[in-house]
Each structure stands twice: as C-alpha cells, then as structure tokens.
Structure 1
Amino acid sequence: MLSREQIIDTAVELLDAGGEGALTVRAMTERLATGSGAIYYHVGTRDELLDTATETVVTAALATKPGGASVTPEEEIRAVALALFDAIAEHQWLATRLTLQIIRNPIGPVTVGIFERIGRQVGALGVPQAAWFDATATLVHYILGAVSQNARVDGDTSDVEAGVDREEFLGAASRAWQELDPDDYPFMHAIVDQMREHDDREQFLTGIALVLDGITNLR
C-alpha cells in the first residue's frame, strides 16, 4: 500500500536528481505506479509536497546532536549549522526552498524549528533576553546565506555549468583575479591563493565563530 513516507522519499529523490523542475505529478505517478489522486490524498498539491520534502530534510538535519558527555552551547550551534550545511550540499534544491520558507512562512515548522534549536543555545550563552531575537536572527541569516552560497540555486541562469569541478572553477577564478591590475586591486591579489585553496566547511565554521564572538559580547 502506498504510504505518505514513500511519496515524500520519491519526491526527494526526484528533486535530488533534477531540481524542482523534475518534480511533476506525472513523474511521481510513473515512479510510484499510482494515480495522481493517491498523491493528492496523502500530501496535497505539488507546492505542499515541496514544503513537506523541505520540512522532512530540515527536520532530520535539526535532529543532529554533537558527541560528548558535556556539550557547550557553541558546540550545539556548530553541530546544527554544519548539519544544515551538509543537507544543502547533498540536496542542492534545498537552498531555494529553505530561503522561501524563512521569508514566506515564519510560522511554519521549518522556520520555527531552526529558530528554536539555535535560539535556545543563544539563551544558554547568557545573552540578555532583550537581544535573543536579534542575535538568533543574525546567526540564522549567516548560516542560510553561507550554505546557500555553496549551492547551485534553482533558476540560476549564469553560464556556470551544473556539476562543474570545484577545483577547476576556483582555479579559473584565481587566474582571473591575478590578471587584475595589482595597483587597482591590491587586496584581491593578496588573497588569491587563499581563495583558491580554502575549504568551504572550515570557512563556514570561521564565520560561525566570528558571529558567536560578537554575540557573546552582548553579555
């Protein structure tokens, strides 16, 4: 018997394979060997299925817990941030849907789940309650902005090919930067090697550390 979980898993598979454009009622019915009525019955419209797929992936990421007997709020924040980072790296379509959820549906489970998980740790850091929202929103905005930057967003019309090799892309960018006039762009010349050799996850964690340093100063 067809289940709601089967439908959601199939939707995620289609999204992973081809982005939002691949998620059609026809593709779903062919993959599941069922009629459209069964899909609508279990999950509703296509937009509702997209929201449910997003919620499913994000909920799994938010369930990630850091190891160790005694975990600090900073470690909790890093764990959930990296879980979201890895989720978007694995599911490229998620960047767009996650951003839309935060913007359009502040009362939805995705927005509420992310803010609750991170906000509790902000409070545990000793931040005054009057600054909880601003501090948490700053962290959430950094996390989502940074992880989305590393994903190919649906609707991207740039000439960067999907699946392009990262090393090749960074190498081409670094060569272009090196061709800039060093008198006009001294900073770009100074950081070109760092850009070409940087690790995305390490850079992401550095940003988290910088934001946390600023938040802890609110105490």
Structure 2
Amino acid sequence: MAVALLDEYGERGLTFRLLAERLNTGTGALYWHVANKDELVALAADQVLGHALATVGRPADGAGLRALAIAVFDTLDRHPWAASHVTAPATHANALRLFDRIGTLVAGTGLPTSRQFAVSTAIFYYVTGVSAQIIAPGVTVSATTSRDAFLAQTAERWETLDPADYPFLTRITADLREHDDRDQFIAGLDLLLAGLNTAEDPRPETS
C-alpha cells in the first residue's frame, strides 16, 4: 500500500495518517513496525527493487548482468520516488539480493576472484547511483516545470558559455535537449560491462 500511495502522491504527499486510513488501522500500529517516515519510504523502495529482481531470470553471463541492470533502471523509472532510496552499500533485503545477484553473475564471467569484489561493487554503484542521478531529479523538476523545459533551459545556458572555455558543452546542446535517459544509462552500462572482457587486472603495477 505504501508503494501505491507513493506512486500516487509522491514522497511529500505520503503521511502516516493517510496510510493508516487506507489500511483501516491506527497510526500507532504503523509505528510498531517502522520508526519514522524515512524508514517506511526506504522499505517501500526496497520492495520496488524486489519487483525488478522478480522480472529477470538467472543466466550466468554478461547478458544476464545487462538485463538485470536495465530491469532495475526501468523499475525505478516507473517509481521515481524510490530511486534515491536504493543506497549503497546494500543494507535492505532486496538491495542485498541485487548485490549478491550481480556478484554471482560477475563470478560466472570467469573474472579472476581477486577482481570480483571491485567489479561487482562498481556495477552495483553504477546501477543504483546513476539511476538515482538520472531519475530522481525528475521528481523535483516536474513539480515546477517539465523535463523538456528544464533541459531546454539548461541547454540555453550552455549556449551562452564561451566555446573557448567550454568547447564540448557548447557543441552538444542539441544532444542535451533531445537525449533519452534510458539510452544514456545503457550507454554507460555497456562501457562498464565491456571491461569484463579484460580478465587481467587493469591497474598499473606499483613499485
């Protein structure tokens, strides 16, 4: 029920009184289970993450990693309030399952054991952190202006920058206006997963 109310009213609109009314109970009963609203929202976000895990199978290869990461992004995109509450390191049940699933898939690629923790952590941080960076701002932006309007305003500001100081930003303002958030996420994901094709430790040797 908390997930449904958060989808309908957003994080600011959810109150213990409203949730208690929908559950036909008292607020005291809710406080028996959670200490405060922050804990409630975090648990609801973890439930959303569980929905993502339930949508993908368990292939033990890089394709499975890609499918899992995209499923998480797509699920959080449908519940944007949840994106910033799926935090790293993992603590809640489904976040732990996500990290374990990522690690298991990484191990299945044949990556050396000595590299599995670092790579699994990097992928987990990318999936949770970048999803939050891409999705969560839309919750704030949409309260005052549309995503397209926000991107157009930002692009206009970039266009006023000095190309001598900002040669890249002034050149890609059209891309900023027209880019797709999901495509942006997948582009970074594919770059990250491409590193799994390198089995050797890429770090330089220290003297």
Tell me which interval the TM-score lies in, with the shorter structure as reference length: 0.7 to 0.9
TM-score, normalised to structure 2's length? 0.82
Q: Determine the C-alpha separation between the residues in 2 that align with 1:150 and 1:12.
A: 20
Q: Within 5 A, what are the aligned runs for 1:19-98? A: 19-40=10-31, 43-46=33-36, 47-65=38-56, 73-98=61-86
Residue 114 of structure 2 corresponds to 130
Q: Which blocks of at least 5 consecutive residues in structure 2 are unaligned?
A: 201-207
Residue 205 of structure 2 corresponds to none
Residue 194 of structure 2 corresponds to 213
> Per the alignment, in what secondary structure is the counterpart of residue 19 of structure 1?
helix
Contact 1:182-1:189 at 8 Å conserved across structures: yes
Q: Determine the C-alpha separation between the residues in 2 that align with 1:113 and 1:15.
A: 23
Cα deviation code 1:73-106 (max 9, x no counterpart): 222112111121122212122122212xx34xx4
Q: Determine the C-alpha separation between the residues in 2 that align with 1:155 and 1:204.
A: 18
Residue 191 of structure 1 corresponds to 172
TM-score, normalised to structure 1's length? 0.78
Residue 6 of structure 2 corresponds to 15
Deviates more, 1:147-156 or 1:124-133: 147-156
Q: What amino acid sits opposite 1:98 in the alignment?
A: V
Q: Determine the C-alpha separation between the residues in 1 that align with 2:85 and 2:138.
A: 9
The Cα RMSD (Å) is 2.6
> Per the alignment, in what secondary structure is the counterpart of residue 182 of structure 1?
coil
Q: What amino acid sits opposite 2:96 in the alignment?
A: V
Q: What amino acid sits opposite 1:59 in the alignment?
A: G
User: Percent identity, aligned pairs only?
Assistant: 37
How many residues were matched structurally?
199
Give the superposition deviation at 1:190. 2.1
Contact 1:93-1:153 at 8 Å conserved across structures: no
Give the superposition deviation at 1:29. 1.8
Give the superposition deviation at 1:161. 4.8
1:151 aligns with 2:135: yes
